[in-house]
Amino acid sequence: MENLLDLAATTGQLLLARNESLTLAESCTGGGLACAVTEIAGSSAWFERGFVTYSNAAKSELLGVPEITIERHGAVSEATARAMAEGALAHSPAHWAVAITGIAGPAGGSADKPVGTVCFAWAGRDLGCQAQTRCFSGDRSAIRAQSVAYALRGLIHLLQGASDYA
């Protein structure tokens, strides 16, 4: 797996080159993405803020995720991830938002959403929002680390000019 610090440093370099900043909305990673980003010296020049919204109530209260979205689609869904990313942008002056919500385990999975299911969203001001779902394997720590890496790779891809993360 790619080094999280290398991915975070690349993210910072790309944001600095664009004179842009980042906000985060995390659930299952519990601030792990913010931790990786703030390991980079000088990250205060491009990292604006992060929201750790572990509970459904926090997602609604801090990010404005509609309760009906969580009720209809679940906390672990692309719809919720999109709402988290859009809410982070709405509550921040940042140019970009990344959101992560998932099931890191060891419990909490179902047949439809097994442990390791993680939903991501990337949003840019005036650029819309994209979401994807991935299923990672391993223990809780491995799933969380893979989620952080995937989120950073997705943002790097978009910052390098791709129109989507596919």
Task: Calculate the alpha carbon distances from 154 to 68, 69, 116, 130 in Å.
Answer: 27, 24, 18, 10
Give the pLDDT of residue 161.
87
How does pLDDT run across 134-150, given as a tens digit for each residue? Answer: 999 999 999 999 999 99
Give the pLDDT of residue 1.
42
- Region 80-101 average pLDDT: 98
The rounded percent of the chain whose pLDDT value lies above 90 is 91
Domains of the chain and any CATH numbers: 4-159 (3.90.950.20)
Task: Calculate the alpha carbon distances from 150 to 61, 120, 158 in Å.
Answer: 26, 9, 12
How does pLDDT run across 16-60, given as a tens digit for each residue? Answer: 999 999 999 999 999 999 999 999 999 999 999 999 999 999 999
- Does the model's pTM come out above 0.75? yes
**Terminal CA-CA length for the chain:** 19
Does residue 42 come out as left (phi exceeding 0), alpha (psi in the -120 to 50 range) or beta?
A: left
Buried/exposed 75-112: b ≥16 CB within 10 Å, e otherwise? bbbbbbbbbbbbbbbebbebbbbbbbbbbbbeeebeee
How is 7-64 classified by DSSP, letter by letter? HHHHHHHHHHHHT--EEEEESTTTTHHHHHHHTSTTGGGTEEEEEE--SHHHHHHHH-
Q: Which residue has the higher pLDDT, 111 or 32?
A: 32
